[in-house]
Structure 1
């Protein structure tokens, strides 16, 4: 096509225009000059406007790529036209005057300028705003254009309506250039590709308009407005979106701002120089380190990417749902920008593989946590923290606080980046997380998902497509069903739990009675001197004696171990949270007293406990977290049985001669002996009632409830919750989660245990009293009465305190203690009557 000349356009009207040859030549030269700048590769490429000489020389010095760094960080952007190649004016070009030019020629000149302005290029009569500066202005705000004031007002009003298209186009193009960098992730790349595709339609429209301008004499400014009017609204919608995406970044988070450095204060520069920080390279290194620290500590430096981009698009689409054009535009952008996000989700829920190089997805992985931590993990880190949601939310049953959650944006309160869950996925996020977690457990067991199952549906989904959510539901159901079958059937979870109950709850304690009899000598030693190897061999022997059926299952997994601290001290450390500030003297006295108490050796019987070892994946259910709870219940039951055994041995000893013989001449001794037996009976009843309550009214009913739940369990997460809830309920109803109950109960039980230890001393005192020649002047009378009264006072005090705390808890938040209240009240009333 021949280059356009005004002669072609105005030839039919030349007789009526009335221009002189000089004016006609001037107009021709002006339009041709604009066209030379628009087409630098044409026949007039060597003719350069002096105003753009600097920009022209710069473009000749550029290499074949726009810039090497741009090619590395934004390879897609380096293959398309960039406005950075074009010579740029600084808004100071002098506008040509349109005075004394006829209206039709003004329209022709303005039409020529508009076709350039609509692609972001400055014209002759439409120039950059006088305040525009490429170095200072934000390119994402777009370039503002102003029209010559000498333009006829009838044309100026129409031009002003069209001019925003140039600003929209330049802003959108700058956004595409900026967000095409690798740091912004796949969602931003897909969004930029979708917007670029829309701009291609816009550029096609401009080429058609230019063709019409060059070939149709009847083409006018009014027709141009008619054709571009719908596009103004379309580009304005995209422009508003990119503005919100650009301004959503908090100050300092925009990566483009890192290239521009502000001037330092004189004082700060002097300090940096004194510290040896004057070199630019060192400053750059420190700046990167500082920026990395800020990014790791909060969300203020996380760019808008991933789920946050999709959330912004969706919210704009919802807010402008009354506008059909906005619904179509934003719906298209949401679908196309969400494709990589949906694809990552599909890979996660279908195969358990998390491929998220730019941290855009709602699921994150802590790679430093692996299955090796299960051997020493008392907080279920592998299951709770290996894979988590970036927003820190957990299932309703779990209230554990998640660490590492980025802080919300200062404007809007939206979580940044991948931590922002798209609203369409909000109700599905837990299923998405669990589906991938289940599959990862299966993969850790060496079971790979079939390839056709992992890629069962290769259709392109979008987040507003019902098929996508059906795909997620099917993937979750398949992963859950597979892992549940692996645990319940292949790994025999329920028989494992039954063996745990049998070994730790002493419900079938024949083997444990044999163990206590066989290891009585060893258990009387201190915990540090007792031989664990010998105790383990005695446990194996006790388990093999008369073992039949299920008793023979998994007995090799039970191991003997010794606790490092007392049961009640450990429980008090766990349940007591104190924030009182005390003086140094008080703290020193407390620490000294505590050190003195800790120097006392603990008996092996008080430190004895069992351990239970299972392999992955059973270690997810029978984890160190749950084994610790089993051990606490076991040690409590063992302590009760040990005290009961001691008091029963005392009863056996009190069936001998000094306690049974009639001594008429010693009425004082008879009264003392009766009160000793009565106190022993009260203590034995107290211990037996607590043991019976814990065994038959706490452990057994809760165990049967757990078995009923396990028969109906449908999800792995529910299985884990039910098992943990069972143990927590047992601990709470066994009075091991309240500091007041632990203190009162432990003091009462220790009083009973100490009383049983004094059995031989009481027998010796009874023999001395019988052998005394003068009962009235027996020198040991005051001593034995003093010891007995101290035991009675101590036990009565803690018994009443324990009963009071039990009654209070039973009436407030632990109604399961009501049966124990009845049992303890019966002891108190019965022995009060006997005492009278």
Structure 2
């Protein structure tokens, strides 16, 4: 376009009201400012004199010339995005960027306005001008580029123009700060969400740069272009860039709020006296201060892991969403932040969409709220006593669980930026996704399990190609549908294809001895082997005997799964292990206790003088393949084993006492002795010596007391066994089976919870979760077992007593016989009363299901 050329002198005077000399000065200066114009008008001698004396720079009013600008190669275009506009190292006469600043107060307003307009077009791109420059104390290297560059106007500028310029200058600060943010956050480590946000902001800045190009064109071509018009055109952009600048400033300051606070606190002026004192003590110096600052910074990073996590992923979306909500009353802000929210959330939505559709977690920069522990895989299921594969392979970064409890103190969950503030990085879940986070987690987790089974997942091509955003209701419908589909698919896979209910029935039959006599056969066949020590007993032989017992009893569904039942030996006694766990944690199933049944404690081993018998260490194991191992996991197998060992002890003691009853039907116990008058009385524990009661009555009384104690012990064991089997295990199993068969279990996690709750309820009602009840029950069972072991000793003493009945003086073992029986009676009566009191207390306060046991135990008479 041809440069504008003023008209005739008369025309100029008419419109400007200037003399010929003044007009030549004005037009010459404007022509100098608006580059590209070449005037060839004559000037008078006075004007030339002004140029030579320096009142007017040589470039003004003379024939203009321009050299081709050189391109300065730089690694960054943030501080000088248009440095191609900067002239060569030897500036041309018309180059004003780095020239000597002239006093503006001696120039007319029109000239001042023109000069300032030229500077503004540079400054708005981040390049300082001649009359609009950096402050005197301003250093680009020392200042934070994310805060933007600051400019000040020459004090000699007319106040009316200065006021208008100062209104426009924040645009330069906003633009340079936003541009610095884009360059800094475009680094790979800041993740896809930051990259998408920077791309969206960069697109918005293109409109700003286009506006500046149009303004520069108007400045060079239109004589009516003024500072007021510039303000008119950039005023709407000022509000837009201020919104972007506030967002980028918040994102930049959120990286390290502690540092920003310390920076603001350290801005106060140092104390000269204190500095002198520190210098004298050797504590001064810039190097030492830098070292101390670095140590302090490292200590803060060590104490707070969140300081090392940049603002990325969900935290960026949370900040944008928070600003969107807080400024929803401003239509421009709502529209701007809405566009940024949609653009920045796209990679986040894509990652979520891929996770809930395929079960594949692709999150290279740890931006998603779901994380994967890659060191946990299917190979550790056989040794997993805490359900780590299911509970910890895929988790939420904020540590929250399905039940709503938060575990932010656990390892791997970063601390908040500030107390009570947002979690850093991907651990911060966008507020719009907060109520959907568990469904997102479970949908992908279910699909991942299905993939592990080798089943191909059907992908919905329509939903994959559909554009979704965080602000779109369709996105949350997709999450809900994906969760429902994944849950139903995995649930049907477990219940129908993997035959979960028949598997659980076989578990109940083998471990709870329900409607099965295989345990009786096993105890009969392996009696000799079980009386050995746990280390001496042959597991191979016991496994063969178990298979033989199962073959004689298994039928139907049980026959299908009997090969999955294996014999194993525990390294700790049942009651010692239970008491140890209950005293430490108060519950069974905690992380510290689980797996302890298979881990030998060297200290306890050294303290034990007598090795554990095989009958006390014998237990069963059950092996299933993936994905059934999610439901029948090591965590649940441990609970089955605890109940089985408890029932096995009761069954073994019952069998021992029954065998003792059979022994009591033999001759030494049934042969009648000669009675004397008054022998029917029941004396207390007699002692040899003068005045002793009738020896025949004493022996019969001893035999009667043995019969009675054995009957009471057998009744106690049978009542406990019947209560545990028919009033605890069977009813609870029927309730679980009905829920599974009726389809009342809606989700896989509910299935897992119901199974574990069923076992925990059985443990509690079998009195295995209370230290007092475990202690009292174990004392009684051990007393009964020990009494049964004395069966041969009692039989020997009965034969000796029968032989000595005719000559009481030769019965030297009578005192020892009564003493042994008295110890058993005293011990059993004491612990029976303690046990009954504990059962009554818990039945009336915590465990109402123990009320039937109270009735059963009260039927066992305690002699006075």
- TM-score w.r.t. structure 2 length? 0.82
**Structure 2: how far apart are the matches of 1:146 and 1:110?**
12
- Measured at CA, do residues 398 and 685 of structure 1 come closer, stay the same or move farther in structure 2, by a change above 3 Å? farther
Aligned match for 1:700, one of 697, 707, 730: 730
Q: CA deviation at 1:776?
A: 6.3
Within the candidate set 165, 172, 176, 2:171 is matched to: 165
Q: Is the 8 A contact 2:257 2:418 kept in 1?
A: no
- What CA distance in whole angstroms lies between the structure 2 residues aligned with 1:11 and 1:295? 77
The match for 1:313 is 320
Match of 1:448 among 456, 459, 473: 456
Q: Are 1:209 and 1:224, in contact at CA under 8 Å, matched by a contact in 2? A: yes
Displacement of 1:16: 2.8
Count of residue pairs the alignment pairs up: 766
Structure 2 partner of 1:210: 216
User: Highest CA radius of gyration, 1 or 2?
Assistant: 2
The one of 773, 777, 790 aligned to 2:823: 790
User: Equivalences for 1:663-702 in 2 at 5 Å?
Assistant: 663=673, 664=675, 665-702=695-732
Q: 1:781 is matched with which residue?
A: 814
Partners of 1:143 and 1:322 lie apart in 2 by 30
What is the DSSP-based 3-state SS (H/G/I as helix, E as strand, rest coil) of the residue aligned with 1:489?
Answer: helix
State the alpha-carbon separation in 2 of the partners of residues 533 and 227 from structure 1.
92
- Tell me what 1:645 maps to: 655
- Residue aligned with 2:17, SS: helix
In the alignment, the residues of structure 2 paired with residue 454 and residue 30 of structure 1 have an alpha-carbon distance, to the nearest angstrom, of: 61
Partner of 1:261: none
What whole-Å deviation, never above 9, does each CA across 1:764-819 have from its counterpart, x for those lacking one? 22222222244367321221121112112212222222223223322333222222
Return closer, same or farther for 1:83/1:565 CA change in 2, 3 Å cut-off. farther
- The CA RMSD over aligned residues, in Å, is 3.6
Counterparts of 2:745 and 2:220 in 1: how far apart (Å)?
A: 75
Point out where structure 2 has 5 or more consecutive residues left out of the alignment. 39-58, 90-96, 264-278, 587-600, 676-694
| Contact 2:119-2:132 within 8 A present in 1 as well | yes
Contact map agreement 2:736 2:755 (CA 8 A) in 1 = yes
Quick check: 620-629 or 215-224, which moved more? 215-224
CA contact (8 A) 1:107 1:221 kept: yes
| Equivalent residue number for residue 331 of structure 2 | 324
**1-side partners of 2:756 and 2:793: how far apart?**
46
1:220 equivalent in alignment to 2:226:
yes
Structure 1 counterpart of 2:597: none
Q: Distance in 2 between matches of 1:552 and 1:717?
A: 29
Aligned mates of 1:87, 1:791 — CA distance in 2: 107
Q: Deviations over 1:547-603 (max 9, x none)?
A: 432231211111111111111122122222189xxxxxxxxxxx9995565241222
Q: Does 1:757 align with 2:796?
A: no
Quote the offset at 1:43 in angstroms.
Answer: 7.7
- The answer to whether structure 1 residue 719 and structure 2 residue 780 are counterparts is no
- Whether the 8 Å CA contact 1:253–1:303 is kept in 2: the answer is no
Instruction: Select 2:616's aligned residue among 581, 588, 606.
Output: 606
Q: Give the SS at the match of 2:859.
A: helix
Q: Which residue of 2 aligns with 1:809?
A: 842
Q: Which residue number corresponds to residue 274 of structure 2?
A: none
Change (3 A) 1:194 1:508: same
Compared CA separation, residues 399 and 224, structure 1 to 2 (3 A): closer
Corresponding residue for 2:584?
577
Deviations 1:239-283 (A, max 9, x none): 1111110000126999xx9xxxxxxx999999x99xxxxxxxxx9
- How far the C-alpha of 1:733 sits from its partner, in A, is 1.5
Asked whether the equivalents of residues 480 and 715 of structure 1 are also in contact (C-alpha less than 8 Å), the reply is: yes
Q: How far did 1:46 drift?
A: 5.8
Name the counterpart of 2:437: 429
Name the structure 2 match of 1:508: 515
Q: Distance in 2 between matches of 1:680 and 1:239?
A: 88
Identify the residue that residue 351 of structure 1 maps to in structure 2. Answer: 358
In 1: Cα distance, 2:84 partner to 2:836 partner:
87
Would the aligned equivalents of 1:342 and 1:463 in 2 still touch at CA under 8 Å? Answer: yes
1:698 touches 1:733 (CA, 8 Å); kept in 2? yes
Maintained 8 Å contact 2:530/2:615: yes
Deviates more, 1:243-252 or 1:756-765: 243-252
Give the SS at the match of 2:238: helix
CA contact (8 A) 1:96 1:148 kept: no
Give TM-score scaled by structure 1 length: 0.85
Deviations 1:142-163 (A, max 9, x none): 1111112222222222222111
Alignment check: 8 A CA contact 2:619 2:641 kept: yes
Question: CA separation in 2, counterparts of 1:555 and 1:192?
Answer: 62
Report if the CA contact (8 A) 1:741-1:805 is conserved.
yes
| Contact preservation (8 Å) 2:81, 2:126 | no
Partner of 2:854: 821
Q: How far apart are residue 674 of structure 1 and its match?
A: 2.0
1:730 aligns with 2:762: yes
- Take 2:844 and 2:556, find their aligned partners in 1: how far apart are those partners? 44
What SS does the corresponding residue of 2:105 show, helix, strand or coil? coil
Please tell me whether the aligned partners of residues 172 and 239 of structure 1 are also in contact (alpha carbons under 8 angstroms): yes
Q: Distance between the aligned counterparts of 2:133 and 2:373, measured in 1? A: 54
| Whole-Å separation in 2 of the counterparts to 1:816 and 1:397 | 29
Q: Residues 234 and 724 from structure 1, CA distance in 2 versus in 1: closer, same or farther, beyond 3 angstroms?
A: same
Where does 1:11-50 land on structure 2 (aligned, <5 Å)?
15-17=16-18, 19=22, 25=28, 29=32, 32=35, 44-45=66-67
Structure 1 gap ranges (5+)? 48-55, 71-76, 258-264, 274-282, 580-590
Partner Cα separation in structure 2 for residue 599 and residue 632 of structure 1: 24
Residue matched to 1:413: 421
Q: Is the Cα–Cα contact under 8 Å of residues 257 and 417 in structure 2 kept in the other structure?
A: no
Q: CA deviation at 1:128?
A: 1.6
Q: What are the within-5 Å matches in structure 2 for residues 102-251 of structure 1?
A: 102-250=108-256
Report if aligned partners of 2:305, 2:415 keep a CA contact under 8 Å in 1: yes
Q: What are the superposed Cα offsets for residues 733-760 of structure 1, whole Å, 9 maximum, x if unpaired?
A: 2111222221221111101111111111
1:526 maps to: 533
CA contact (8 A) 2:309 2:424 kept: yes
